[in-house]
Amino acid sequence: MPTSPDRCPKWADELITRLFKIEVALGNLRPKGENKAFAETPLKSLAELEDLADQQSAAEALFKKIAKGLTDEGFDSEQIAAFVNARVNDGFSKLPYCNATEVKEAL
C-alpha cells in the first residue's frame, strides 16, 4: 500500500486532507498560504447554521474514521496524532490539531 515519506498510508493522507478542508470551511483554520485575517461574516440564515453543524459533525466522524483505520493498521495514537497534525495545519497556528489522548478518545 502506498505511503507518504512519514509512512502515512495514502488513504489516510487523503482523508486527513479532506478533514483540513472541512476545518477551513468551518473557519477554524485558514487556507494554506493565506496570512490575512479571517473575514468574519455573520450567518444569514438558520440553514447556514445547520450546515455548519453538519460540517462539524462530518469533521468529527472523519477524525474517528481516520483514527480507527490507522489503529487497525497498527499505528499508535502518537503516530496518528503526528500524521494528522502534519497535515491539518494552516502554517499559522502554533497549536496542534489533536493529541494522542484525543485520538484515543475518538476510538
Whole-prediction pTM: 0.79
- Please state the domain extents for the chain: 51-107
17-70: per-residue pLDDT in tens? 999 988 888 888 887 766 555 545 555 555 665 676 778 888 999 999 999 999
Output 106 or 53, whichever has higher pLDDT.
Answer: 106
Three-state secondary structure of 47-84: HHHHHHHHHHHHHHHHHHHHHHHHHHCCCCHHHHHHHH
Q: Around Cβ 66, how many Cβ atoms within 10 Å? A: 26
